[in-house]
Amino acid sequence: MTLRFVEVADRVHVLREPLLRVNVTLLVGDGAALLVDTLSTAGQAAELARAARAVTGYPWVLVNTHHHFDHCFGNAALAGDPPRPVYAHQLAAAALRDPDRLRREAYEEMRDEQPRLAEELLDTDVLAPTHLVSRQEVLDVGGRQVILRHLGRAHTAADLVVHIPDAEVLVAGDLVEQSGPPAFEDSYPLRWPEAAAELLRMTTPTTVVVPGHGDLVDHEFVHAQHGLLSDLAWQIRAGHAGGTPAERVAAQAPFGARPALIATRRGYAELDGEL
């Protein structure tokens, strides 16, 4: 399948990779461009580059919303030659400076579900970000303001969101999920509702929200997901206080038993001072 971008707002384009339904956002300014996330492998990134070049020939900078392989393993193909700036949260950059560990983790995650992709991941050249963000960075992309913000620990310790005010677009990364339940493996489920609440403050009824995976969503979708995350956090706290086994909490929690069990165990570990 040929990858292509679709314009979703003024000179803001979104491409959805079909295998894992990862979204990549391309912003075009005057003489400059910005790509948010770079997919999983050199091959995927090469297709992504061709799709981006069908929209613009301007040089781009990159942003990684976080360090999970499906959002950043294409960095080297898109920013390595010629070198281009790559922005990410400082903890995401630190994780990407240990590529062997990330490749092994990615392989283990994908080997049963997508064995061909898993093998490609083992051979992917991982390029660490060059420009580190702590809390907020404001970029000028060809005369267009782009705000990179870290909203605290949530999906990971190192998530960035990308706000494009003049187009009313908010790229949420995996802080918002549409095509499946949130991924809790590296999460902080007791803190995630706070980040989701901040996303709500950054959106209006007309804001286009680009989730990490799946279809575009809006303020109301984020509001609903915030409610579910808040319910989950409350149940985790109550279960921990009452000495309830994580399995019993997860059986009644939002998002399904397996994701909720992962979240509950992470939440219990945080309450026990282990995270």
**What is the domain range of residue 52?**
6-174
Beta-carbon contacts of residue 90 (< 8 Å; ≥ 6 apart): 132, 133, 134, 158
Is residue 138 in a domain?
A: yes
Q: What is the pTM of this model?
A: 0.96
> Tell me, what's the pLDDT at 1?
61
- Enter the DSSP assignment of 129: -
Is residue 203 in a domain?
A: no
Is residue 245 in a domain?
A: no
Strand order in the sheet with 86-89: 6-9, 12-16, 23-28, 33-36, 60-63, 86-89, 131-133
Is residue 273 in a domain?
A: no
Label residue 80 by pLDDT band (50, 70, 90): confident
How many independent structural domains does the chain possess?
Answer: 1
| Nearest in space to 265 (alpha carbons), one of 255, 275, 28 | 275
Q: How far apart are CA 105 and CA 59, in angstroms?
A: 32
Which percentage of the chain shows pLDDT scores above 70? 100
> Tell me, what's the pLDDT at 2?
81
In this structure, what CATH number is given to the domain that contains residue 125? 3.60.15.10
Is residue 196 in a domain?
A: no
Is residue 139 in a domain?
A: yes
Is residue 33 in a domain?
A: yes
| Nearest in space to 178 (alpha carbons), one of 27, 23, 72, 8 | 23
Report, in angstroms and rounded to the nearest whole number, the Rg of the chain calculated over CA atoms. 18
Is there a contact between 205 and 219 (Cβ–Cβ < 8 Å)?
A: yes
Is residue 201 in a domain?
A: no
> Average model confidence (pLDDT) for the chain?
97
The pLDDT tens digits for 101-155 are 999 999 999 999 999 999 999 999 999 999 999 999 999 999 999 999 999 999 9
Report the residue count for the chain: 275
Q: Determine the residue type at 50.
A: R
